[in-house]
């Protein structure tokens, strides 16, 4: 697919010509204009800011991944940044495709994903009184907010949740794909599109135990001339009045048959008589599931049990998949004792080790865990024993010590191990002291990675997770999971839309909040979210029932029952259901 992406500080042209390719089918255009209301307040405009290079890269990456599923010819995306007056377009997307359905599907998914991982954000809403000229200054897009100086009033200096996710997504690269036998491929990400090597099923097969007869044969009685069990097959052209005994799954001897269920015939010796008429032919026709050459599974699919069954059916026993990840997890803190010990006063049982192990279950990996003493020098000498494993790890996690106390050495430790710290705090609750570091690897344009086997420069990723279990849970789901999906080539976690089942009563907080919730799918298929009680990130009880994180915007206190909210599902099963 031809892709053109532009970020501009100027108004988006009223008329944009379609590419030449659009002459071959549909040209779908979408313009998102700034509305005159934001969070219930009248406004005169919005100011957008971006990390331009990263945003362009991400938009391309999203389009390329989507194009695998919705083959389109060309896409043109223009996002305006700076001040955009009400009524003017903030975004323009044009998609050319052979058929309109592909363009519509791609556009819909693209707009959803744009919100998730692309570092373009609303910097502020301009009140109605603000004088907004029709001509917007060409702002220097992409300056990091912290580096832009002088304009700090409206935005926090810490990266926001979206910015943190965007950094993680852009810094982590796909690890080289490997071939794995089906028995070891569960949960891996497919790194090739697999097509049916032959029609499925390859022959016409009976779906019942019964008798095959000619489709239009109205004979009164039939002579049973042969018996086919599931494993039998030989060609035989049936004549009127003839029947073949067939078992479920048996390949049928010729064309133009129907199968009469054995429950619907009377058999006397070698003769049968049909006693009840049936409407179905009870035949699974050749190619009914899939035609030879049709895609069975697309690049990027997560291989669950059903997908593996499909690959097995097609005889694809060594698919190209993401590698099994190597993870090293260190806990820190002298107060931590193993969970089978009774803590002395001041001590606390280690719950993070088992929490991390459990959360990693969704990402096939080998996890090695150890505890580090809370003294930097001693911790370093302990790590010497782990050097090789740390160096070979794709992901390093350190629990605790991520904050600013005298004994919090996680940042120092990661730097000592050679990691560049990308951020060490974010504007989020819980989970503010989250450290993200990367080690090695030049940035490879995402466009070169899609479908490519060439290993990008190896890059290792580390997170310092704030010690409290609830912070672990939250940071894992939006940050660690985003990194893991990028390393494996899957789709990063997505915020979905749902409805609050009950009010969420909070004090306004200057940080965005990911509030633990319990997601249920109502009978009308709406995702309904029950906010769970938690007072601080040390609370563990809510973890046992949480299967979603509800996104509470900055400075929003109360959100009423039935209000629409964004949420992040925390179990893949729920995520699948919620997307239905
Ligand atoms: P820290 O991030 O090291 O300041 O730890 C914050 C809080 O999390 C402290 O109350 C720690 O006791 C607690 N904590 C740290 N590590 C663990 C762990 N492995 N299991 C349970 N709680 C922990
Ligand atoms: Mg600690």
One domain, residues 317 and 334: no
State both tokens at 331.
């806990």
3-state secondary structure of 389: helix
CATH code (residue 276): 2.170.190.11
The H or E element spanning position 421 is: strand 420-423
The closest residue, in CA terms, to atom 6 on ligand 1 is 467
State both tokens at 562.
């039935």
HSE at residue 569, side-chain half, CA atoms within 13 A, is 19
Total domain count, the chain: 5
The CB of 399 under 6 Å from ligand 1? The reply is: yes
Distance (Å, whole) CA 555 – CA 570: 24
The CB of 471 under 6 Å from ligand 1? The reply is: no
Contact 89, 80 (CB under 8 A): yes
468 CA distance to ligand 1 centroid (A)? 5
384 CA distance to ligand 2 centroid (A)? 21
pTM assigned to the model: 0.70
**Domain boundaries, position 574:** 496-579
Residue linked to tokens 């501009």 = 8
The distance of Cα 216 from the centroid of its chain, to the nearest Å, equals 50
403 CA distance to ligand 2 centroid (A)? 8
* Residue 420 counted as domain residue: yes
CATH code (residue 334): 3.40.980.10
Strand 37-38 and strand 2-8: pairing? unpaired
One domain, residues 70 and 42: yes
Distance (Å, whole) CA 238 – CA 256: 10
Ligand closest to the CA atom of residue 465:
1
pLDDT at 96: 92
The CB of 85 under 6 Å from ligand 1? The reply is: no
- Boundary of a domain, candidates 472, 488, 504: 488
One domain, residues 210 and 358: no
**Which atom, in ligand 1's list, is nearest to the CA of 402?**
2
Q: What is the DSSP letter of 344?
A: P
Collect all residues with Cβ–Cβ distance below 8 Å to 280 and sequence separation of at least 6. Answer: none
Taking each helix axis from N to C terminus, what angle separates 161-171 and 52-69, rounded to the nearest 10 degrees?
A: 70
The CB of 374 under 6 Å from ligand 1? The reply is: no
Task: Name the residue of 410, 468, 475, 540 whose CB sits within 8 Å of the most ligand 1 atoms, as the mutation to test its pocket.
Answer: 468
- Boundary of a domain, candidates 429, 453, 488: 488
Q: What is the DSSP letter of 323?
A: P
Rama region for 165: left / alpha / beta (φ>0; ψ in -120 to 50; rest)? alpha
State both tokens at 121.
């954000």
Beta bridge partners of residue 220, listed in sequence order: none
One domain, residues 297 and 365: no
Distance (Å, whole) CA 75 – CA 3: 5
211 CA distance to ligand 1 centroid (A)? 68
Q: What is the DSSP letter of 263?
A: G
Written as tens digits, the pLDDT of the chain (580 aa) is 889 999 888 889 888 888 776 667 889 999 999 999 887 788 888 988 887 877 888 899 889 889 988 899 999 999 998 889 999 999 999 999 998 899 999 999 998 888 766 778 877 788 876 533 333 332 223 333 333 333 333 444 799 999 999 999 989 988 999 999 999 999 999 999 999 999 999 999 999 999 999 999 999 999 999 999 888 888 999 999 999 999 999 999 999 999 999 999 999 999 999 999 889 999 999 999 889 999 999 998 999 999 999 999 999 999 999 999 999 999 999 999 999 999 999 999 999 999 999 999 989 999 999 999 999 999 999 999 998 899 899 999 999 999 888 889 999 999 999 999 999 999 999 999 999 999 975 444 443 333 333 344 567 899 999 999 999 999 999 999 999 999 998 888 889 999 999 999 988 999 999 999 999 999 988 999 999 999 888 889 999 999 999 999 999 989 999 999 999 999 864 433 343 2
Ligand closest to the CA atom of residue 399:
1
One domain, residues 347 and 482: yes
The CB of 145 under 6 Å from ligand 1? The reply is: no
Beta bridge partners of residue 325, listed in sequence order: 365
Contact 19, 76 (CB under 8 A): yes
467 CA distance to ligand 2 centroid (A)? 6
One domain, residues 186 and 230: no
One domain, residues 446 and 553: no
* Residue 87 counted as domain residue: yes
261 CA distance to ligand 2 centroid (A)? 69
* Residue 141 counted as domain residue: no
434 CA distance to ligand 2 centroid (A)? 13
Collect all residues with Cβ–Cβ distance below 8 Å to 140 and sequence separation of at least 6. Answer: none
CATH code (residue 298): 3.90.105.10
Ligand closest to the CA atom of residue 473:
1
Residue-wise burial string across 513-524, b where 16 or more C-beta atoms lie within 10 A, e elsewhere: bbbbbbbbeeee
């Amino acid at each position: 697919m031809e892709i053109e992406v532009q970020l501009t500080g100027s108004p988006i042209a009223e008329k944009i010509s379609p590419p030449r390719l659009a002459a071959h089918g549909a040209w779908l255009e979408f313009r998102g204009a700034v509305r005159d209301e934001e969070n219930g307040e009248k406004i005169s405009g919005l100011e957008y800011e971006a990390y331009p290079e990263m945003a362009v890269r991400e938009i391309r990456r999203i389009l390329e991944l989507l194009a695998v599923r919705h083959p389109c010819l060309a896409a043109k995306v223009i996002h305006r940044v700076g001040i955009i007056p009400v009524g003017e377009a903030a975004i323009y997307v044009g998609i050319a495709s052979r058929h309109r359905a592909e363009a519509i599907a791609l556009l819909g998914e693209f707009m959803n994903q744009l919100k998730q991982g692309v570092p373009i954000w609303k910097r502020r809403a301009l009140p109605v009184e603000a004088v907004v000229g029709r001509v917007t200054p060409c702002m220097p897009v992409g300056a990091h907010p912290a580096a832009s100086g002088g304009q700090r009033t409206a935005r926090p200096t810490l990266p926001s949740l979206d910015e943190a996710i965007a950094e993680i997504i852009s810094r982590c690269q796909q690890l080289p794909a490997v071939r794995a036998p089906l028995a070891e491929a569960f949960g891996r990400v497919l790194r090739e599109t697999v097509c049916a090597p032959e029609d499925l099923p390859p022959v016409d097969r009976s779906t019942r135990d019964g008798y095959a007869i000619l489709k239009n044969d109205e004979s009164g009685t039939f002579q049973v001339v042969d018996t086919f069990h599931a494993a039998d097959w030989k060609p035989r052209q049936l004549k009127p009045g003839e029947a073949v005994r067939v078992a479920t799954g048996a390949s049928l001897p010729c064309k133009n048959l129907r199968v009469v269920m054995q429950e619907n015939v009377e058999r006397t010796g070698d003769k049968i008589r049909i006693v009840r008429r049936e409407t179905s032919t009870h035949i699974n026709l050749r190619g009914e599931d899939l035609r030879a050459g049709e895609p069975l599974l697309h690049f990027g699919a997560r291989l669950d049990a059903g997908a593996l069954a499909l690959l097995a059916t097609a005889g694809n026993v060594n698919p190209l998949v993401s590698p099994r990840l190597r993870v090293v997890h260190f806990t820190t803190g002298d107060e931590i004792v193993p969970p089978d010990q009774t803590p002395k006063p001041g001590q606390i049982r280690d719950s993070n080790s088992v929490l991390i192990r459990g959360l990693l279950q969704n990402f096939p990996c080998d996890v090695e865990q150890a505890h580090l003493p809370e003294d930097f020098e001693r911790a370093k000498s302990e790590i010497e024993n782990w050097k090789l494993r740390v160096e070979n790890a794709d992901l390093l996690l350190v629990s605790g010590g991520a904050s600013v106390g005298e004994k919090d050495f996680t940042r120092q430790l990661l730097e000592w191990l050679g990691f560049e710290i990308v951020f060490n705090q974010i504007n989020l609750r819980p989970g503010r002291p989250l450290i993200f570091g990367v080690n090695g690897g030049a940035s490879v344009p995402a466009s070169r990675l899609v479908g490519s086997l060439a290993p990008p420069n190896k890059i290792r990723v580390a997170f310092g997770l704030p010690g409290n279990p609830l912070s672990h849970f939250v940071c894992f789901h939006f940050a660690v999971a985003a990194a893991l999906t990028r390393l494996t080539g899957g789709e990063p976690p997505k915020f979905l839309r749902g409805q609050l089942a009950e009010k969420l009563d909070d004090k306004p907080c200057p940080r965005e909040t990911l509030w633990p919730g319990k997601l249920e799918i109502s009978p009308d298929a709406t995702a309904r979210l029950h906010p769970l009680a938690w007072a601080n990130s040390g609370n563990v009880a809510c973890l046992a029932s949480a299967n979603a994180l509800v996104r509470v915007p900055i400075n929003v206190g109360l959100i009423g029952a039935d209000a629409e909210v964004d949420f992040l599902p925390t179990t893949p099963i729920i995520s699948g259901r919620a997307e239905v």
